[in-house]
Amino acid sequence: MNIESTTLVQIRFVVDKGGPDEFADALYFTPEQFVALTPEQLETAQIERVDNWKAMLAAAAAAPVKEVTEEEVLADIVTLEEQRAAIDEQLAAKSAELAVLTASSPTSGVKGG
Amino acid sequence: MADRFVIAAGGNWSAAGTWSATDGGAGGAGVPGAGDNACCSNLSGNLVADATSGQVCLDLDFTRGTGYTGTFSSTDTARPITISGSVKFSGGMTLTYSSRVTMNATSGTKTITSNGKTFPGGLTFNGAGGTFQLADNLTMSNNSQQSSLIQLLAGSFDPNGKKVTFNGNGGAGGVSGNAITFFDWEVSNASAFTTCQLAVNVTVTGTLKLLGASDAGAIRMASSVRGTPRTLTVNAVDAASNRVEFMDIAFAGAAAPYATGARIGNCQGNSGITFTAAVTLTWANDVSGNWAIAANWSGSRAGPPLAQDTAVVNKAFSAGRTITIDSGGTMGKDIDLSACTGNPNFAVNNAMDFFGTFKQSAAMTNSGTGSFIASGRGSQTIRSNGVTWARPLTINGPGGTYTLEDALASSASLTLAAGGFNDAGFNVSATTWTNTGAATRSVVRSGLWSLSASGSVISVATTGLTSTDTGTIKLTDASASTKTIAGGGGTFNDLWLSGAGTGVYQFTGSNVFGTLRADASRNIQFTAGTTTTSNSFSWDGCTIGSITAASHTLAKAGGGKVNCSGMTISRSTATPGTTFFALGSTNGGNNSGWTFGAGMDCSAGSFAIAGQAAGLSAQRRGTLAAGALAIAASDANLDLVRLVAGVRSSEPPAPRARPEDAARQRPSQTSRRRPAQ
Chain A contact for B447 (CB, 8 A cutoff): yes
Query: What are the pLDDT digits (tens) for B643-669?
Result: 333 333 333 344 444 444 444 333 334
Q: How confident is the model at residue B568 (pLDDT cuts 50, 70, 90)?
A: very high
Task: Return d(Cα B11, Cα A93) in angstroms, integer.
Answer: 45
Q: Hey, what long-range contacts does B543-551 have (CB within 8 A, 24 or more apart)?
A: B543/B567, B543/B568, B543/B569, B544/B568, B544/B569, B544/B570, B544/B572, B545/B569, B545/B570, B545/B571, B545/B572, B545/B588, B546/B570, B546/B571, B546/B572, B547/B506, B551/B590, B551/B591, B551/B592
Residue B209 has pLDDT above 70, yes or no: yes
Nearest chain A alpha carbon to B392: A72
Q: How confident is the model at residue A77 (pLDDT cuts 50, 70, 90)?
A: low
Query: Which range is least confidently modeled, A88-102, B109-123, B367-381?
Result: A88-102
Residue of higher predicted confidence among B62 and B654: B62
Task: Return d(Cα B234, Cα B252) in angstroms, integer.
Answer: 6
Output the pLDDT for position B421.
Answer: 98
- Asked if A61's CB is within 8 angstroms of B452's CB, the reply is yes
- Sign of the Cα torsion B400, B401, B407, B408 reads positive
Which of A30, A71, A90 faces B370 most closely, judged by CB atoms?
Answer: A71
Task: Return d(Cα B232, Cα B253) in angstroms, integer.
Answer: 8
Task: Return d(Cα B585, Cα B540) in angstroms, integer.
Answer: 9
Query: What is the DSSP code (8-state) at residue B609?
Result: G
Q: Look at residues A30, A23, A24 and name the one whose alpha carbon lies nearest to residue A9.
A: A30
Kindly list the residues from chain A whose CB atom is less than 8 angstroms away from the CB atom of residue B659: 13, 15, 42-43, 46-47, 50
Which of B199, B394, B450 faces A85 most closely, judged by CB atoms?
Answer: B199
Q: How confident is the model at residue B511 (pLDDT cuts 50, 70, 90)?
A: very high
C-alpha pair distances (Å), A98 with each of A13, B153, B541: 51, 22, 50
Per-residue pLDDT, averaged over B382-406, amounts to 97
- Sign of the Cα torsion A66, A70, A71, A72 reads positive
Query: What are the pLDDT digits (tens) for B515-533?
Result: 999 999 999 999 999 999 9
**Other CB atoms closer than 10 Å to residue A97's CB: what's the count?**
10
| Cα end-to-end span (Å), chain B | 72
Kindly list the residues from chain A whose CB atom is less than 8 angstroms away from the CB atom of residue B351: 75, 78
Query: What are the pLDDT digits (tens) for B281-298?
Result: 999 999 999 999 999 999
Query: What is the DSSP code (8-state) at residue B613?
Result: -
Output the pLDDT for position B171.
Answer: 79
Per-residue pLDDT, averaged over B536-564, amounts to 96
Residue A75 has pLDDT above 80, yes or no: no
Q: Look at residues B182, B78, B187, B93 and name the one whose alpha carbon lies nearest to residue B143.
A: B187
Residue B12 has pLDDT above 90, yes or no: yes
Residues 6+ apart with CB under 8 A from A68: none
CA A23 to chain centre: 14
Task: Return d(Cα B17, Cα B180) in angstroms, integer.
Answer: 40
Q: What is the pTM of this model?
A: 0.83
Chain A contact for B163 (CB, 8 A cutoff): no
- Asked if B447's CB is within 8 angstroms of A24's CB, the reply is yes
Can you tell me whether residue A94 is helix, strand or coil? helix
Per-residue pLDDT, averaged over B97-126, amounts to 96
Kindly list the residues from chain A whose CB atom is less than 8 angstroms away from the CB atom of residue B370: 71, 75
Instruction: Report the percentage of chain B scoring pLDDT > 70.
Output: 88
Query: Which range is least confidently modeled, B236-240, B352-356, B410-414, B612-616?
Result: B612-616
Residue B615 has pLDDT above 80, yes or no: no
Chain A contact for B639 (CB, 8 A cutoff): no
Output the pLDDT for position B625.
Answer: 37
Residues 6+ apart with CB under 8 A from B124: B100, B101, B102, B103, B148, B150, B151, B152, B153, B177
Which of A23, A63, A83 faces B427 most closely, judged by CB atoms?
Answer: A23
Per-residue pLDDT, averaged over B213-222, amounts to 93
Residues 6+ apart with CB under 8 A from B13: B31, B38, B47, B48, B49, B50, B51, B55, B79, B81
B residues 250-309 lying closer than 8 A (beta carbon) to A: none
- Give alpha helix (H) positions in B387-426: none
Residue of higher predicted confidence among B151 and A113: B151
| Cα end-to-end span (Å), chain A | 43
Residue of higher predicted confidence among B139 and A63: B139
Which of B351, B392, B659 faces A47 most closely, judged by CB atoms?
Answer: B659
Output the pLDDT for position A57.
Answer: 84
Q: How confident is the model at residue A85 (pLDDT cuts 50, 70, 90)?
A: low
Nearest chain A alpha carbon to B671: A10
Residue of higher predicted confidence among B667 and B18: B18
B residues 165-224 lying closer than 8 A (beta carbon) to A: 171-172, 176, 197, 199, 224
Nearest chain B alpha carbon to A76: B351
Q: What is the CA radius of gyration of chain A?
A: 25
Per-residue pLDDT, averaged over B543-560, amounts to 97
Mean pLDDT of chain B: 89
CA B284 to chain centre: 34
B428-430/B408-409 β-pairing: parallel
Torsion of Cα atoms, B555 then A112 then B428 then B671, to 10°: 120
Can you tell me whether residue B644 is helix, strand or coil? helix
Q: How confident is the model at residue A95 (pLDDT cuts 50, 70, 90)?
A: confident
Residue B153 has pLDDT above 80, yes or no: yes
SS (H, E, C) B453-484: CCEEEEEECCCCEEEEECCEEEECCCCCCCEE
Query: What are the pLDDT digits (tens) for B223-234?
Result: 999 999 999 999
Task: Return d(Cα A21, Cα A24) in angstroms, integer.
Answer: 10
Can you tell me whether residue B235 is helix, strand or coil? strand
Residue A108 has pLDDT above 50, yes or no: no
Nearest chain A alpha carbon to B412: A60
Query: What is the DSSP code (8-state) at residue A77?
Result: H
Which of B171, B437, B465 faces A112 most closely, judged by CB atoms?
Answer: B465
Residues 6+ apart with CB under 8 A from A91: none
Which residue type, as a one-letter code, is found at position B393?
Answer: L
- Sign of the Cα torsion B614, B616, B617, B621 reads negative
Q: How confident is the model at residue B168 (pLDDT cuts 50, 70, 90)?
A: confident
Per-residue pLDDT, averaged over B571-600, amounts to 91
A residues 20-39 lying closer than 8 A (beta carbon) to B: 20-28, 30, 34, 39
Task: Return d(Cα B371, Cα B390) in angstroms, integer.
Answer: 9
Query: Which range is least confidently modeled, B127-136, B324-333, B450-459, B629-638?
Result: B629-638
- Asked if B386's CB is within 8 angstroms of A24's CB, the reply is no
Query: What is the DSSP code (8-state) at residue B42?
Result: T
Chain A contact for B422 (CB, 8 A cutoff): no
Kindly list the residues from chain B whose CB atom is less than 8 angstroms away from the CB atom of residue A81: 147, 172, 197, 224
Kindly list the residues from chain B whose CB atom is less than 8 angstroms away from the CB atom of residue A49: 386, 407
B residues 358-387 lying closer than 8 A (beta carbon) to A: 369-371, 383, 385-386
Per-residue pLDDT, averaged over B43-52, amounts to 98
Query: Which range is least confidently modeled, A6-20, B32-46, B539-553, B567-581?
Result: A6-20
Which residue type, as a one-letter code, is found at position B353?
Answer: D
Please list the helix, strand and coil fractions of chain A in percent, rounded to the nearest 5, in that order: 55, 15, 35
What are B281's strand-pairing partners?
B311
Contact (Cβ atoms closer than 8 angstroms) between residue B30 and residue B57: no
Chain B contact for A12 (CB, 8 A cutoff): yes
Chain A contact for B487 (CB, 8 A cutoff): yes
Q: How confident is the model at residue B635 (pLDDT cuts 50, 70, 90)?
A: very low
Task: Return d(Cα B534, Cα B614) in angstroms, integer.
Answer: 11
Task: Return d(Cα B90, Cα B117) in angstroms, integer.
Answer: 7
Q: What is the CA radius of gyration of chain B?
A: 32
Contact (Cβ atoms closer than 8 angstroms) between residue B283 and residue B315: yes
**Other CB atoms closer than 10 Å to residue B489's CB: what's the count?**
17
C-alpha pair distances (Å), B209 with each of B206, B234, B463, B562: 10, 10, 38, 67
- Asked if A61's CB is within 8 angstroms of B225's CB, the reply is no
